[in-house]
Amino acid sequence: MTLDSSNVVIFIILAFSLGVVLILGRSSIPDRLRRGMALIATLLICFAFFLIVYFLANMGA
């Protein structure tokens, strides 16, 4: 199974954008919602980092 690099790039940009939006708008997000969104954003950003490392490791293959 091969991953389409354009889809991966879009996911990486969106994951980091979500993190930036949560950081910049943290005062306007309710407390109950903020914790769940921060957890989901953290997981997405970690997966984005994994995809970056995966694509860099497999660039020559």
Note whether residue 19 is domain-resident.
Answer: no
Note whether residue 49 is domain-resident.
Answer: yes
Note whether residue 2 is domain-resident.
Answer: no
Note whether residue 56 is domain-resident.
Answer: yes
- Please report, rounded to a whole number, the percentage of residues in the chain having pLDDT higher than 90: 66
Of 6, 19, 18, 20, which is closest to residue 51 (Cα–Cα)?
A: 6
Q: 1 vs 51, which has greater pLDDT?
A: 51
3-class SS string, the chain: CCCCHHHHHHHHHHHHHHHHHHHHCCCCCCHHHHHHHHHHHHHHHHHHHHHHHHHHHCCCC
Average pLDDT over residues 15-27: 93
Count the domains in the chain: 1
Q: What is the mean pLDDT of the chain?
A: 90
Give me the domain span that covers residue 50: 34-61
Residue 61: its pLDDT value, please? Answer: 65
Is pLDDT above 70 for 1? no
Other C-beta atoms closer than 10 Å to the C-beta of 55 total 14
Note whether residue 9 is domain-resident.
Answer: no
Rounded to 10 deg, the angle between the 31-57 and 5-24 helix axes is 150
Q: 1 vs 34, which has greater pLDDT?
A: 34
